[in-house]
Homo-oligomer: A and B are copies of this chain.
């Protein structure tokens, strides 16, 4: 089965090396990894702007895949990369299995409090809010409940690990656990 490999690794200088490593792990679990940089199944119209061709290529990739594994490691803030989250929601709506992983083990509430620092303040009901009085989610989840919920609704798993310093974008242990779980889920369904 083709599996879309969503994640912010596309922004790294060694994105292609990470893609190759992920594809090898996929293959070991009987899956075919599809990276955003791969040639899309349908070529986007040449007259569209460059960024829109990337968008349309990614959308075509996702539609061509039977499942998705998202790298949901926090990216420039307490939550996952926005592009990855968009793709996760997209695949969930297609009704196909999605898995997620994060190389930061802390719960979303703790990461949100860390991010806000002194701006996080306790509410009278025991919860937390930011300087604009906006509440902090406190469900013991890995990220915003729409992310954890979408994965759970699709029968997937959200694997968390604490990567060693400097290995945040290269540790593939939690990714491999996602591959194993996805292969088991698909095998059970097939």
B55 close to A149 (CB less than 8 A): yes
Chain B residues in 8 Å Cβ range of A51: 139, 141, 145, 148-149
Asked if A80 contacts B78 (CB within 8 A), the reply is no
A118 at the interface (CB under 8 A from B): no
A69 on the B face (CB < 8 A): no
Q: Does A106 contact B (CB under 8 A)?
A: no
Q: Is the interface of A mostly helix, strand, loop or mixed?
A: helix
Number of interface residues of A (CB under 8 A): 55
Counted per complex, copies of this chain come to 2
A133–B86 Cα gap in the complex (Å)? Answer: 23
Interface string of A71-108 (1 = CB under 8 A from B): 00000111111110111111111100000000000000
**A46 CB within 8 Å of chain B:** no
- A21-51 interface bits toward B, Cβ cutoff 8 Å, 1 = contact, 0 = none: 0000000000000000000000000000111
23 interchain pairs, CB-CB under 8 A: A11-B136, A12-B132, A51-B148, A52-B145, A52-B149, A54-B149, A55-B150, A55-B152, A55-B153, A58-B149, A76-B115, A76-B116, A77-B115, A80-B82, A81-B144, A83-B145, A83-B146, A86-B147, A87-B146, A88-B89, A90-B92, A92-B93, A132-B168
